[in-house]
Structure 1
Amino acid sequence: MGVKELPNGVWPVMLTPFAQDGSVDYNALEQLIEWYIDNGVHGLFAMCRSSDMFQLTRDERIDVVRFVQEKTAGRVSVVASGHVSDSFEEQLKDIEAISEIGVDAVVLITNILAQAEDGEDVWKRNVETILERFPGTTFGLYECPSPFQRLLSPELIKWCGETGRFTFMKECSNNLGQILEKIKAVQGTPLKIYIANNPHLLEAMQAGGHGYSGMQATYQPDLYSWLTNHWNEDAEKAALVQSYLGATCAFEGRQYYIATRYYLQLEGIDITLKSRMNRAVGDFRPTNRREIEQFRAYNRYFKKTLFSQGG
């Protein structure tokens, strides 16, 4: 029996909302799930760095992923990571727990599968162990930039694809040349490449890439959905949308963990500004709020103007 084919498109890296007391806010999480789906996403990356996965306990990670899986109810695909324990044996327990939830792919964090000084041979051996330990599980890959970044070679990605066990990859090189090589490497395999680098999304799609999985999808998932759905139907409009999305990626590094939550508040989601990645909510100054308010206003104007004649 083959693995499930994942849809092309936009896969937001999900936030984990927190209540004022610091616990996970499941009411806000459910609202966030519905907002993403209403905005046309094709899948959800339910546990990743944006989800504060390094700051959550194992039980919290499991509960959040299970909640997302249950509330999506098959309306969109769900993948999740979370094997962040220190030892490899404890990571296997993390993987087992997420696998048992039934997500479409358990996403392996590339920098956790071997030490920074280890070569790809060590990495490959550890992945082989995981594949043998969990013969019925489908996997993904995530080139997470923290605590260090391990970018996989096209040859290693080709090997992953040819195992037939990998279907999802969040590619984080921010390098068009590497992106194109990886897209070529997975041709003919179930493994799909979803890039995190905004400015190259259209070029990646034109080269046979499969979509976007990055931080900016929390601000404007509907535009990423449109581009990944219609990139080859209207070249002029696709180029204009790409230029807008590429320019707005400047917001990625500006109080991301708080700014995204403030944007979602403006969208009507009952979410606090709390994040375990960045506790200094007081650092989110009135100027930062105005930036997000103006970004959202321009975002809405752009969409209204661009799509006023349909499409």
Structure 2
Amino acid sequence: MKLLQGVIPVIMTPFTEDQEINEGALRRFVRRFLDAGAHGLFGLGTNGEFFSLTQEEKIRIMKIVVEEAKGKVPIYAGTGGISTREVAALSERMEEIGADALSIIAPYFLPFTQQELIDHYRSVAASVSLPIVLYNFPVRTGVNLEPRTVAELAKVGNIVAIKDSSGSLDLIKQYIAAAGPEFAVLSGSDALLLQTLRAGGKGGVSGSANVLPELLVSIYNLWQNGDEEAAEKAQALLAPLSQVYQKATLPSVFKEAMNRMGLEAGPCRSPIAPLNPDASAELDHVLGYYRELGCIREEL
């Protein structure tokens, strides 16, 4: 297994109609990603609704993912939270159950200083031996991991990468320049996957891969094989899904797309609502477009 490269899908957390974890569907999701050639799997991400899960549910989900993946690809576990103690404790549990790496979103709600962020990550890193991927998502957390902060954290032995979901290619380039060639930079914005690779990044953590796994994987593989023109065409095909995704609270568009493909993603947890009629109609149009192109198939 190779860490910190390629397309790493964020696994949706499938729920039953009463909003309990659907273990059977989760296991099928893992197998589907493996069949599509995913380079890793990311559990408990933003699109996995980590923010609405209990600690016990998070542990159960990751046990299922680790068990079902059977060591075929690296497993990344999201362990972010607000307090350092909470994050360290969950990180330790994920190490115990067999995760290969951790992804830790910047603590949120309060306007933490850059030094507080550095101290937070250093403390968590000292509590585990697993590789740690920093996770920057300033529109959700209210704080931005600055390039100088990332460069400082890159000096910590097991802090080895960052996933950036800011949507800024310029910031991604700054991370690459500041942290050095051994530090992996991953795009958390699917629209920037190919541009991140061109800039020297190592790949991306993808929500769209829940709907279009083979397409996302192909972008990376084509790039690696030197077929930049084909990679660019594949990247352009993501645009319609990205546009409808922005019309509802995440991850409702991806989940509903999966439901309409027969994948049993189920509902999002409240208070995330079902799609409004306009978004629903646009999603139907987009799925029809991908079916015509042969990018998706109906699941049994």
TM range (shorter): 0.7 to 0.9
| 1:259 partnered with 2:253 | yes
Distance change >3 Å, CA 152–CA 83, structure 1 → 2: closer
In the other structure, the counterpart of 1:163 is 156
Q: CA deviation at 1:164?
A: 2.8
- Closer, same or farther: CA 258–115 of 1 in aligned 2, 3 Å: closer
In percent, how many aligned pairs have the same letter?
Answer: 24
| Alignment counterpart, residue 199 of structure 2, candidates 181, 200, 207 | 207
Residue 260 of structure 1 deviates from its aligned partner by: 1.7
For 1:103-128, what per-residue CA distance to the aligned partner results, in whole angstroms no more than 9, with x for missing partners? 1112111134x941x32112112222
CA contact (8 A) 2:259 2:265 kept: yes
* Residue 95 of structure 1, aligned match among 87, 91, 95: 91
Indicate the residue corresponding to 2:214 in structure 1. 222
Q: How much is the aligned-residue C-alpha RMSD, in angstroms?
A: 2.4
CA contact (8 A) 1:49 1:144 kept: no
TM score, norm. by length of structure 2:
0.88
Letter of the 2:91 partner, please give it.
I
Structure 1 residues 222 and 87: CA distance shift in structure 2, 3 A: same
Structure 1 counterpart of 2:5, from 5, 8, 15? 8
1:46 to 38, 43, 56: 43
- Flag the 1:121–1:288 CA change in 2: closer, same or farther, 3 A: closer
Is the alpha carbon distance of 1:296 and 1:55 closer, same or farther for their aligned partners in structure 2, counting shifts above 3 Å? same
Distance change in 2, residues 1:25/1:279 (3 Å):
same
Code of the residue aligned with 1:154 in structure 2: it is: P
1:33 to partner: Cα distance: 1.3
Letter in 1 for 2:126: E
Please give the alpha-carbon distance, in whole angstroms, between the structure 2 residues aligned to 1:175 and 1:125: 25
Aligned 8 A contact 1:139 1:165 in 2:
yes
Q: Which residue is 2:287 aligned to?
A: 296
Residue 22 (structure 2) pairs with residue 31 (structure 1): no
Report the CA distance between 1:195 and its aligned residue: 0.6
Structure 1 unpaired stretches of 5+: 305-311
How far the C-alpha of 1:278 sits from its partner, in A, is: 4.3
Give the 3 Å change call, closer, same or farther, for CA 50–205 of structure 1 in structure 2: same
Indicate the residue corresponding to 2:223 in structure 1: 231
Measured after TM superposition, the shift of residue 239 of structure 1 is 2.1
8 A contact 1:258–1:284 mirrored in 2: no
Distance change >3 Å, CA 108–CA 235, structure 1 → 2: closer
CA distance in 2, matches of 1:244, 1:119: 39
Cα deviation code 1:159-181 (max 9, x no counterpart)? 33332312342211211111111
- Worse overlay, 30-39 or 242-251: 242-251
Alpha-carbon offset, residue 302 of structure 1: 3.2
CA positional deviation for 1:206: 1.2
Number of residue pairs matched?
Answer: 293
Contact 2:105 2:137 in 1 (8 A): yes
SS at match of 2:15: coil
Question: 1:198 aligns to what?
Answer: 190
